[in-house]
Structure 1
């Protein structure tokens, strides 16, 4: 059914989110136990489980919200996955930024339509999708990633979500501490979002490319990273006093009068540290509360070394921080799957 809107003038990705279900789109199937499965619709395709077979042609051309039965009589509720669902089910190499954190990043960083945003640490592209939706068709996002296989996973996931390449998105391979200095205009970036192991290494690059008043948000997993980055920003003198928080998400059990918190929750995933760029040659105000801060002990200083000699004694990498290392084989497999989904999504015709 046509909406009367010129497909060429539609916002990027709208054709993947509205109208009847089409081949190439992702759909989410929910069974009677609330279990969700996400599949890509294919002409002539079938979805096989131990409970039976569901033909894709029974879904293609139908509206969202239908309930269908497979060959074994099992019923499924059919909807397009929301962004929250999509990022948790898409192929991944690096761990994705959880939706609760992506939402906070977009809000805290004040990502606005038309903004030029710098992102470092693309991972699997979950945060990139949220940033691209926030900057809109008129905005731009420059993403920097060290590992080529991660960049390919992200590219496939983003294109599968929007159904096409986003015109405002560019991925650059290289060190985020150096590469932006080659590409970005000094003071030309509105917002900076970093999701990496050692964001303090990008301090000079951020100070150079971020516009006065611009917001810098970093997503870090550990207290030691949070402490080291905070002291680096304070010591630079070019930013406002850093602010940090984390978000806890707790769902509730709803069953008649049995209304209570669920026994399990998404608790700590990471910290968000934010600060704003001051104008050139300006120093932050001396906040009164800083007078009460005790002098760090030698042990504290060793956790976030302040000199190159001290830093050389610590290794701020996945091994040093005891985080999971993603093998090249797994990343390449995820990249191939993401590319397959992107190619299927690009076959969806806008406006039909």
Structure 2
């Protein structure tokens, strides 16, 4: 038996660009648009400083500039040219750990126009909505650009992320944040990203685009479901990000009544840290609890309907006080 490891043969299409030759060492190729750099810190890069009490500062490195805090100061030139992962001591003896910020760190500290999608939810969306390299993903709305960064990282430079945002002030904040994270030159942005100012329910049908995934981060995602259904390719996924139980119920029931999707799946994620010190192992006092609910469903082929899930609704689920969409075959429950 041969010890040689088999290799996978690529079959590029005529329209697909060839993948770049990856260097064995040095920086991440610019054409990867990863938002990540290797090697020595350089002018214009952002770094994250963490002091001994866990307080964090994000600074953009500029030759000749000085960082000030209540623990003294130090020059940016002391950082430029060094490999990340070191400590620097300020004039008053304060120690700061120096690293490039991770995407999960960047999004929780970047300037905000709207609330951001937290890393725990962005990770769930990328995984459970199956965002893949080369995918065409539609996002509405863009908020401050936090989820946009994760989607762009997932689809890669040969995919597409088409974002729709109703409010210009939010769109402008997102443009700056996305440009900063990916290091886009002034006046440009990530080549796989387009940002449209307008309502997805109107703008997406007008575009005529057929897409793989649609992410709805908005107050009333059910208003965009028809537009999403028309744009999604068979097998595509719609994913809604909603904050309240009333929004969750309205969206799930609208998906059911629509008939062109599989039975929706709804969940939330909770993250709890742990204190670990010798034999003192216990849950941490801080926890990232409820931030939002997530709902996913897959698009059926044209003219096809998923088998209706057989369910016995809980008493009162569709009672006289319920005013939302009602699945077929479920009568109004009588008043006691």
**TM-score bracket for this pair, using the shorter chain length:** 0.7 to 0.9
1:19 aligns with 2:43: no
Deviation at 1:255, TM superposition (A): 1.8
What's the counterpart of residue 329 of structure 1?
none
1:107 paired residue among 121, 124, 127? 127
Q: How does 1:100-249 map to 2 (within 5 A)?
A: 100-164=120-184, 165-185=189-209, 188-249=210-271
Rounded Cα–Cα distance in structure 2 between residues aligned with 1:189 and 1:121: 16
Q: What CA RMSD, in Å, does the superposition of the two structures yield over aligned residues?
A: 1.8
When the two structures are superposed, what TM-score results if normalisation uses the length of structure 2? 0.85
Rounded Cα–Cα distance in structure 2 between residues aligned with 1:193 and 1:229: 13
2:52 paired residue among 28, 32, 47? 32
Deviations 1:201-240, CA, capped at 9 Å, x for gaps: 0011001100010011100000000000011110011100
Range with greater deviation from structure 2 (267-276 or 251-260): 251-260
Rounded Cα–Cα distance in structure 1 between residues aligned with 2:245 and 2:118: 18
Q: Identify the structure with bigger relative contact order (alpha carbons < 8 Å, sequence gap 6+).
A: 1
What's the counterpart of residue 330 of structure 2?
none
Q: Does structure 1 conserve the Cα–Cα contact (< 8 Å) formed by 2:242 and 2:248?
A: yes
SS at match of 1:235: helix
Rounded Cα–Cα distance in structure 2 between residues aligned with 1:40 and 1:276: 42
1:95 paired residue among 115, 118, 126? 115
> Who wins on radius of gyration, i.e. which is larger?
2
The number of equivalent residue pairs is 299
1:64 paired residue among 57, 76, 84? 84
Deviation at 1:65, TM superposition (A): 0.5
SS at match of 1:177: helix
CA separation of 1:81/1:114 partners in 2, compared to 1, >3 Å: closer, same or farther? same
Structure 2, unpaired ranges of 5+ = 1-22, 327-336
Rounded Cα–Cα distance in structure 2 between residues aligned with 1:292 and 1:273: 19
When the two structures are superposed, what TM-score results if normalisation uses the length of structure 1? 0.81
Deviation at 1:35, TM superposition (A): 1.8
CA separation of 1:297/1:251 partners in 2, compared to 1, >3 Å: closer, same or farther? same
Range with greater deviation from structure 2 (65-74 or 102-111): 65-74
What's the counterpart of residue 62 of structure 2?
42
